[in-house]
Amino acid sequence: MVKTGVDATWNSTVSQATSAVKSIGKLKNPELSSTTLTPFTDFASAINELNNSLSVYKDFHEADAIKMRQAGTNKSDDDIAGASSMKAIRA
């Protein structure tokens, strides 16, 4: 009999990707002495924006991982249903 659906490799791959994204840490603002020079104040703002973007990306990626796991489950269910209908045709 032919194996159907997705195996543990699918879930493992999705989990590894999720773990890799979760491990990305936020950048820390450098501790600078008081300055009013625009390049340095803009640098701090850029780091804050990057950290916010990273947070949004992590949320997106987590939702995407849930969808990918569901896609694997759906594929497995479809394969089982297809195999059952083929058995019915052969009988």
Q: Is the dihedral of CA 35, 38, 41, 43 positive or negative?
A: negative
Please tell me the predicted confidence (pLDDT) of residue 54.
97
**Angle at CA 21, nearest 5°, toward 66 and 69?**
20
Average pLDDT, the chain: 85
d(CA 34, CA 13): 47
**Dihedral angle at the C-alpha atoms of 37, 25, 49, 15, nearest 10 degrees?**
160
Length of the chain: 91
> What is the reported pTM?
0.70
- The ranges assigned to domains in the chain are 59-91
2 pLDDT exceeds 80?
Answer: no
- Which among 28, 18, 30 is positioned nearest to 51, based on CA atoms? 28
Q: What percent of the chain has pLDDT over 90?
A: 45
pLDDT in tens, 10-41: 888 999 999 999 999 999 988 777 777 877 77
